[in-house]
């Protein structure tokens, strides 16, 4: 029942999308100033039916309707309600439906929130957005239908992979999609602006809120994904430079570049073409990421079930999108005003863009190079964290420095502000205080520490100035402060991390550095969907004379059959203690891995701060509008 | 000028899309096929049921050697065992077994039940020596010639097709 | 004097043993687990990873250098096992292209800024 209902509703929303295309195209030729009422009505029904299809899928999950293949393959009656709901977007088909919902949501919001904009500009945006929507709906209905019927109806489902049953992972896809699928709207706006020759100021004002919103969600989405990896995967890391993670980072770099260059476009006429190129590239990178994740051409930690026919569809779509955007761009390329002068602040923003595009290029090359090499020559190589760290880390130094000094420059001709100011002085003192407690760490890492501290102190001083001067951009200060804190915490985390693994038997006691680990007890128990072996360990810090109990687990889930290693993490303000355990086959020996992970909370907090800046930016815009 | 840029950008894009398209149909499961053509290392393997070591270099006495890594706990090994028994009748080929991370008693029972195709049987209870042969999961089977060169490497259980291939090579 | 030399030797021993261990961890972090999608050997609990961990520990204790250990493993399992991509003919593009792009981007930026700032003066 739900199957045919879902298919009907999705088909209706495809038809509505196609009608919107027709209506908008027809409306372009009419001479009235306002968009016809019909389009609003259709757009409203479109969002209604698209939401309805998504809700249908969620209901199917909640009531465990196994007549849907998708529900059968990814759910189970014994699963908690929360994970039944989140299971709806924890797989390819369901998440594609979420993708489409966000495309439609942004299209609708654009239509109703920009009432007084140029009519044709709006209509073209709606046309491009609906081209995207209908393509993805066709993909959904023909290739990846979440409502496909299964007959005869099984009585029980196959269950959701236990590592996906995690609150962080439940909200991760919606956040991330609001980010990078949200970028579709400025892709459409940019193309529409090219065709209708909208002036730079209104282009800037139109895309700015969308850029801030999508950037904020993208940042939050990446954060939640990292948190999940840290707590659930049990490897003690939070970023692995895995192709799937890279796919979420690539659009982020471009959004960040866009967020900065829009500031220029808003005040002055420069950078018009550049902003358009960035807008097109951002969504292109989002689709590239989607292609990489779902086509299965990459070996990744986070596997989606793969199917080449999906890859083929997304690739064809991507090709069509890229070729037509290039064509439109060159056909309607705006004539840049040659007579405008770049001021110092603009130079800094362009330098920011230079770095962001560079970071994007590195991540893109690192991710795709093995695929290209394999396809062209048959040689297989791996590119991993050492590559990214080696190439990217040195460039953090100038980036941090520019983030500190760049924003101090005025829009119109500025005096160079003294480099040796009070902030730098303070940060050097702070740096030496930290340096005294560090006995190791390379020169580069130490310099990164120093520069991030400079950024932190400078932005702190700036923050105090905002009380005196209301014109200072608070969102910039908070985001930059957050970034400084992020780099500082990651560096300190690198320097002070402790890692040690042992082979132990029950009752063993191991000593190393200042710690003693006792293997006190081993407990086996079973819950309704898994069996567990739980180790009880006591960790004694001899220096601080404290002790803590940690209980890592090995779980064997039965639906589907999976072994997971549950880390036991004791989170303190400054440092986490992280313990994992695995058994060595056919023996009573366990391999345990002890890790001290300092400043993890600071890492999460600083990313929150970064995204908070984005929220402030948005509210600032709202006030002005 | 504009046209030149357009042509350059289009060609780059077409190149990228063609490569990505080709990559779609590639199998991305990694196997250590690069080892084919290399010489095997000098390794001493412990005999399975007697003291002493077998020097792998000694297989240069045989025309062809099939080195098979197996264990009684490994399901696919059970599946391919009949092929090994079939191949063991070939006089031009000697099969050397490496019992991998196994319990001796279980392994003996396994052979009793399924037959023993091995000309020489060795063991690697910790799995560390197998690293020298690029083993990362069992069963794996390596075909080696008189010059100690690796001719074929089969990851996973042997199939009928693999057996025919081995027989064809060995006959020559 | 004797005390001093004793302290030095002690320090030396500590650094050597500590060095060996962190060297092992560093190597394990740069190896790819072949049987688990994209995970490092260090992070993995698979049987294969545990074996490689032991083999690397042994080799480090035998006094082999990082280079020798990477060479040994890539000889047996191919370059696929190395996450720190070795600089070879097939990876020149990978290692140098980012720098070329960075310089290229900088040059374009420099020209644009210079052109634009001079125009009005």
Establish if B17 touches chain A: CB-CB under 8 angstroms: yes
Establish if C89 touches chain A: CB-CB under 8 angstroms: no
Domain ranges of chain C: 2-86, 87-121
Beta carbons of B22 and A375 less than 8 angstroms apart: yes
Note the pLDDT of residue A494.
Answer: 87
Q: Helix H segments across chain B?
A: 2-24, 75-87, 104-114, 160-171
Note the pLDDT of residue A413.
Answer: 44
pLDDT in tens, C4-61: 555 555 444 434 445 778 889 889 999 999 888 778 998 888 889 989 999 999 999 9
Which residue, A343, A361, A388, sits at the end of a domain? Answer: A388
Asked if C39 lies within 8 A of A301 by C-beta distance, the reply is: yes
Q: In a mutagenesis test of the A interface, which of C98, C106, C120 is the best target, namely the one with the most A β-carbons within 10 Å? A: C98
Establish if C45 touches chain A: CB-CB under 8 angstroms: yes
- Nearest by CB to A312, which of B2, B5, B24? B24
Note the pLDDT of residue A437.
Answer: 67
Shortest Cα distance from C2 to chain B (angstroms)?
Answer: 43
Note the pLDDT of residue A185.
Answer: 96
Q: Report the pLDDT averaged over residues B122-129.
A: 90
pLDDT in tens, C76-85: 999 999 999 9
Q: Report the pLDDT averaged over residues A398-402.
A: 91
Contacts of B9 in chain A (CB under 8 A): 326
Residues with Cβ within 8 Å of A580's Cβ and at least 6 positions away in sequence, in order, are A234, A235, A236, A552, A565, A566, A567, A568, A592, A593, C45
Residue from A121, A565, A341 nearest C39 by CA: A565
Neighbours of chain B (3+ CB pairs under 8 A): A, C
Q: State the pLDDT confidence band at A299, using cuts at 50, 70 and 90.
A: low
In terms of domains, do A327 and A366 share one? yes
Q: In a mutagenesis test of the B interface, which of A285, A327, A380 is the best target, namely the one with the most B β-carbons within 10 Å? A: A380
pLDDT of A542 > 60? The answer is yes
Asked if B13 lies within 8 A of A323 by C-beta distance, the reply is: yes
pLDDT in tens, A247-295: 999 999 999 999 999 888 877 767 888 999 999 999 999 999 999 888 8
The β-bridge relationship of strands A575-583 and B120-124 is unpaired
Contacts of C48 in chain B (CB under 8 A): 136-137
Asked if B28 lies within 8 A of A333 by C-beta distance, the reply is: no
Asked if B128 lies within 8 A of C58 by C-beta distance, the reply is: yes
Which stretch, A355-359, A406-410, B1-5, has highest mean pLDDT? A355-359
Note the pLDDT of residue C1.
Answer: 52
Residue from B115, B105, B113 nearest B97 by CA: B115
Beta bridge partners of B140: B69, B155
- Nearest by CB to B34, which of C54, C58, C78? C78
pLDDT in tens, A405-415: 777 766 544 44
Q: In a mutagenesis test of the B interface, which of A586, A587, A588, A589 is the best target, namely the one with the most B β-carbons within 10 Å? A: A586
Q: Count contacts between A and C (CB, < 8 Å).
A: 112
In terms of domains, do A366 and A508 share one? no
Shortest Cα distance from B142 to chain A (angstroms)?
Answer: 21
In terms of domains, do A78 and A56 share one? yes
Note the pLDDT of residue A561.
Answer: 77
Alpha carbons A46 and A40: distance in angstroms, whole number: 10
Note the pLDDT of residue C13.
Answer: 42
- Nearest by CB to A361, which of C53, C95, C101? C101
Asked if C55 lies within 8 A of B128 by C-beta distance, the reply is: yes
Residue from A405, A599, A422, A418 nearest A498 by CA: A599
Asked if B136 lies within 8 A of C35 by C-beta distance, the reply is: yes
Q: Is the ipTM of this complex over 0.90?
A: no
Alpha carbons A382 and C36: distance in angstroms, whole number: 14
Contacts of B5 in chain C (CB under 8 A): none
Taking all residues of chain B, what is their mean pLDDT, rounded to a whole number? 89
- Poorest-pLDDT segment among A11-20, B28-37, B147-156, C112-121: C112-121
Shortest Cα distance from C70 to chain B (angstroms)?
Answer: 13
The CATH superfamily assigned to B33-171 is Glutaredoxin (3.40.30.10)
Note the pLDDT of residue A285.
Answer: 96
Asked if A375 lies within 8 A of B13 by C-beta distance, the reply is: no
Asked if A375 lies within 8 A of B5 by C-beta distance, the reply is: no
Residues with Cβ within 8 Å of A527's Cβ and at least 6 positions away in sequence, in order, are none
Neighbours of chain C (3+ CB pairs under 8 A): A, B
Taking all residues of chain C, what is their mean pLDDT, rounded to a whole number? 82
Asked if A586 lies within 8 A of B101 by C-beta distance, the reply is: yes
* Residue A582 vs residue C120, higher pLDDT: A582
Is residue C105 within a helix (H) or strand (E), and if so which, with residue range?
Answer: helix C92-120
Q: Report the pLDDT averaged over residues A511-524.
A: 89
Q: State the pLDDT confidence band at A157, using cuts at 50, 70 and 90.
A: confident
Alpha carbons A429 and A553: distance in angstroms, whole number: 44
Buried b (16+ CB within 10 A) or exposed e, A286-314: bbbbbbbbbbbbbbbbbeeebeeebbbbb
Q: Count contacts between A and B (CB, < 8 Å).
A: 54
Domain hosting A607: range is: 392-496+602-611
In terms of domains, do A269 and A301 share one? yes
pLDDT of A348 > 80? The answer is yes
Note the pLDDT of residue A33.
Answer: 80
Q: Output the CA torsion A401→A402→A407→A413 (10° steps).
A: 120
Contacts of C102 in chain A (CB under 8 A): 358, 395
- Nearest by CB to C80, which of A341, A382, A582? A382
In terms of domains, do A228 and A130 share one? no
Tokens of C102: 């960075």
Note the pLDDT of residue C17.
Answer: 44
Taking all residues of chain A, what is their mean pLDDT, rounded to a whole number? 88
Asked if C51 lies within 8 A of B134 by C-beta distance, the reply is: no
Which B-chain residues 57-86 have CB contacts (< 8 A) with chain A?
73
Alpha carbons C111 and C121: distance in angstroms, whole number: 16
Alpha carbons A528 and A558: distance in angstroms, whole number: 9
pLDDT of B14 > 80? The answer is yes
Shortest Cα distance from B104 to chain A (angstroms)?
Answer: 12
Beta carbons of B32 and A303 less than 8 angstroms apart: no
Note the pLDDT of residue A406.
Answer: 76
Shortest Cα distance from C63 to chain A (angstroms)?
Answer: 20
Shortest Cα distance from A365 to chain C (angstroms)?
Answer: 7
- Report DSSP state, residue A527: -
The architecture (CATH level 2) of C2-86 comes to Orthogonal Bundle (1.10)
Note the pLDDT of residue C6.
Answer: 52
Neighbours of chain A (3+ CB pairs under 8 A): B, C
- Report DSSP state, residue A89: T
In terms of domains, do A575 and A455 share one? no
Residues with Cβ within 8 Å of A463's Cβ and at least 6 positions away in sequence, in order, are A474, A477, A478, A481
pLDDT of A144 > 50? The answer is yes
Contacts of C77 in chain A (CB under 8 A): none
Note the pLDDT of residue C100.
Answer: 96
Shortest Cα distance from C52 to chain A (angstroms)?
Answer: 13
pLDDT of C119 > 60? The answer is no
Note the pLDDT of residue A151.
Answer: 85
User: Is residue A625 a part of any domain in this protein?
Assistant: no
The 3-class SS string of A264-303 reads HHHHCCCCHHHHHHHHHHHHHHHHHHHHHHHHCCCCCCCC
Q: Report the pLDDT averaged over residues A154-181.
A: 88
Q: Report the pLDDT averaged over residues B91-96.
A: 90
Note the pLDDT of residue C23.
Answer: 87
Residue A600 CB neighbour total at 10 angstroms: 22
Note the pLDDT of residue A582.
Answer: 86
Note the pLDDT of residue A66.
Answer: 93
Note the pLDDT of residue A255.
Answer: 96
pLDDT of A246 > 90? The answer is yes
B28, closest residue in chain A (CA to CA): A297
Q: State the pLDDT confidence band at A621, using cuts at 50, 70 and 90.
A: low
Q: Report the pLDDT averaged over residues A35-51.
A: 94
Beta bridge partners of A562: A557
Q: State the pLDDT confidence band at B40, using cuts at 50, 70 and 90.
A: confident
Q: In a mutagenesis test of the C interface, which of B43, B69, B98, B131 is the best target, namely the one with the most C β-carbons within 10 Å? A: B131
* Residue A454 vs residue A106, higher pLDDT: A106
- Report DSSP state, residue A199: -
Domain ranges of chain B: 33-171
Alpha carbons A507 and A505: distance in angstroms, whole number: 6
pLDDT of A559 > 80? The answer is no
Which stretch, A122-126, A570-574, B50-54, has highest mean pLDDT? A122-126
Alpha carbons B121 and A203: distance in angstroms, whole number: 76
Q: Helix H segments across B34-120?
A: 75-87, 104-114
- Report DSSP state, residue A154: P
pLDDT of A335 > 80? The answer is no
Note the pLDDT of residue A438.
Answer: 65
Q: Report the pLDDT averaged over residues A94-99.
A: 95
Percent of chain A with pLDDT over 90: 53
Q: State the pLDDT confidence band at B118, using cuts at 50, 70 and 90.
A: very high
Tokens of A434: 């930290």
pLDDT of A441 > 90? The answer is no
Alpha carbons A566 and B45: distance in angstroms, whole number: 37
Tokens of A33: 């100033």
Contacts of C28 in chain A (CB under 8 A): none
Alpha carbons C88 and B40: distance in angstroms, whole number: 24
Alpha carbons B148 and A58: distance in angstroms, whole number: 61
Residues with Cβ within 8 Å of A145's Cβ and at least 6 positions away in sequence, in order, are A7, A10, A93
Shortest Cα distance from A298 to chain B (angstroms)?
Answer: 7
pLDDT in tens, A3-41: 999 999 999 999 999 999 999 999 998 888 888 899 999
Note the pLDDT of residue A605.
Answer: 96
User: Is residue A618 a part of any domain in this protein?
Assistant: no
Asked if B136 lies within 8 A of C80 by C-beta distance, the reply is: no
Q: State the pLDDT confidence band at C3, using cuts at 50, 70 and 90.
A: low
Establish if B1 touches chain A: CB-CB under 8 angstroms: no
Note the pLDDT of residue A70.
Answer: 92
User: Is residue A616 a part of any domain in this protein?
Assistant: no
Note the pLDDT of residue A269.
Answer: 67
Note the pLDDT of residue A410.
Answer: 60
pLDDT in tens, A456-465: 988 888 888 7
Note the pLDDT of residue A433.
Answer: 73
């Amino acid at each position: 029942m739900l199957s045919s209902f879902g298919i009907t509703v999705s088909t209706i929303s495809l038809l509505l999308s196609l009608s919107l295309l027709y209506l908008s195209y027809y409306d372009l030729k009419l001479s009235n100033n306002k968009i016809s009422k019909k389009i609003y009505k259709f757009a409203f029904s479109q969002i209604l039916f698209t939401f309805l299809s998504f809700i249908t899928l969620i209901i199917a999950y909640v009531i465990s309707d196994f007549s849907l293949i998708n529900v059968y393959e990814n759910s189970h009656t014994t699963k908690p309600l929360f994970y039944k709901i989140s299971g709806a977007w924890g797989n390819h088909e369901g998440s594609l439906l979420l993708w489409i919902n966000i495309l439609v949501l942004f299209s609708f919001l654009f239509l109703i929130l920009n009432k007084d904009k140029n009519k044709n500009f709006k209509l073209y945006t709606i046309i491009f957005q609906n081209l995207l929507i209908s393509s993805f709906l066709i993909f959904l209905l023909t290739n990846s239908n979440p409502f496909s019927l299964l007959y005869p109806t099984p009585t029980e489902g196959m269950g959701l992979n236990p590592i996906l049953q995690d609150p962080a992972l439940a909200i991760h896809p919606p956040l991330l999609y609001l980010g990078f699928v949200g970028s579709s709207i400025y892709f459409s706006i940019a193309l529409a602006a090219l065709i209708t020759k909208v002036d730079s100021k209104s282009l800037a004002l139109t895309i700015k809120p969308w850029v801030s919103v999508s950037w904020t969600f993208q940042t939050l989405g990446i954060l939640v994904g990292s948190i999940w990896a840290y707590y659930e995967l049990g490897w003690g890391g939070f970023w692995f430079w895995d192709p799937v993670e890279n796919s979420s980072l690539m659009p982020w770099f471009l959004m960040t570049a866009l967020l900065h260059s829009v500031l220029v476009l808003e005040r002055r006429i420069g950078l018009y073409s550049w902003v358009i190129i960035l807008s097109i590239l951002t969504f292109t990178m989002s689709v590239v990421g989607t292609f990489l994740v779902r086509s299965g051409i990459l070996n990744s930690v986070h596997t989606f079930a793969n199917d080449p026919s999906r890859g083929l569809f997304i690739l064809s779509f991507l090709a069509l999108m890229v070729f037509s955007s290039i064509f439109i761009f060159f056909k309607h390329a705006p004539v840049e005003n040659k007579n405008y002068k770049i001021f110092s602040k603009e130079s800094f923003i362009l330098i920011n863009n230079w770095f962001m595009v560079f970071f994007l290029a590195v991540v893109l090359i690192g991710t795709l190079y093995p695929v290209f090499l394999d396809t062209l020559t048959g040689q297989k190589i791996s590119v991993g964290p050492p590559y990214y760290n080696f190439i990217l880390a040195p460039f953090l130094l100038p980036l941090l420095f520019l983030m500190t000094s760049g924003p101090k420059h005025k829009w119109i001709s500025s005096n160079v502000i003294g480099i040796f100011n009070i902030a730098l002085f303070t940060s050097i003192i702070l740096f030496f205080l930290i340096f005294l407690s560090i006995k190791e760490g390379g020169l580069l890492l130490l310099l990164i520490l120093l520069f991030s501290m400079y950024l932190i102190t400078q932005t702190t001083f700036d923050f105090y100035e905002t009380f005196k001067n209301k014109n200072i951009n608070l969102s910039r200060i908070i985001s930059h402060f957050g970034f400084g804190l992020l780099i500082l915490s990651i560096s300190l985390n690198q320097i002070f991390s402790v890692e040690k693994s042992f082979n132990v038997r029950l009752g063993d006691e191991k000593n190393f550095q200042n710690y003693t680990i006792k293997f006190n007890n081993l407990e086996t128990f079973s819950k309704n969907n898994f069996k567990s072996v739980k180790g009880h360990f006591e960790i004694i810090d001899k220096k601080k004379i404290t002790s803590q109990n940690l209980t890592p687990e090995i779980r064997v889930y039965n639906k589907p059959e999976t072994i997971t290693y549950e880390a036991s993490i004791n989170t303190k303000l400054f440092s986490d203690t992280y313990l994992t355990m695995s058994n060595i086959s056919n023996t009573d020996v366990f391999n345990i891995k002890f890790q001290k992970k300092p400043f993890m909370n600071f890492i999460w907090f600083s990313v929150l701060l970064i995204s908070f800046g984005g929220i402030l930016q948005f509210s600032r815009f709202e006030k002005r509008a | 000028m504009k046209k030149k840029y357009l042509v350059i950008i289009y060609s780059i894009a077409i190149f990228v899309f063609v490569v990505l398209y080709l990559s779609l149909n590639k199998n991305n499961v990694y196997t250590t096929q690069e080892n084919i053509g290399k010489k095997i290392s000098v390794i001493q393997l412990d005999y399975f049921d007697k003291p002493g070591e077998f020097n792998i270099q000694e297989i240069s006495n045989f025309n062809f050697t099939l080195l098979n890594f197996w264990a009684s706990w490994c399901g696919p090994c059970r599946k391919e065992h009949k092929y090994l028994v079939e191949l063991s009748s070939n006089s031009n080929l000697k099969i050397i077994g490496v019992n991998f991370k196994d319990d001796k008693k279980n392994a003996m029972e396994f052979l009793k039940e399924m037959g023993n195709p091995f000309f020489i049987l060795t063991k690697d209870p910790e799995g560390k020596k197998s690293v020298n042969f690029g083993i990362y999961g069992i069963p794996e089977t390596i075909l080696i010639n008189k010059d100690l060169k690796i001719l074929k490497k089969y990851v996973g259980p042997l199939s009928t097709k693999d057996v025919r291939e081995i027989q064809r090579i060995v006959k020559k | 004097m004797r005390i001093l030399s004793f302290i030095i030797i002690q320090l030396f021993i500590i650094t050597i043993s500590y060095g060996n261990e962190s060297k092992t961890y560093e190597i394990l972090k740069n190896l790819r687990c072949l049987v688990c999608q994209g995970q490092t050997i260090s992070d993995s609990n698979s049987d294969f990873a545990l074996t490689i961990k032991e083999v690397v520990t042994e080799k480090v204790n035998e006094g082999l250098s990082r280079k020798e250990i990477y060479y040994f493993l890539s000889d047996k399992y191919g370059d696929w096992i190395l996450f720190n991509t070795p600089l070879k003919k097939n990876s020149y593009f990978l290692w140098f292209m980012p720098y070329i792009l960075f310089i290229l981007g900088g040059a374009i930026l420099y020209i644009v800024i210079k052109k634009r700032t001079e125009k009005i003066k």
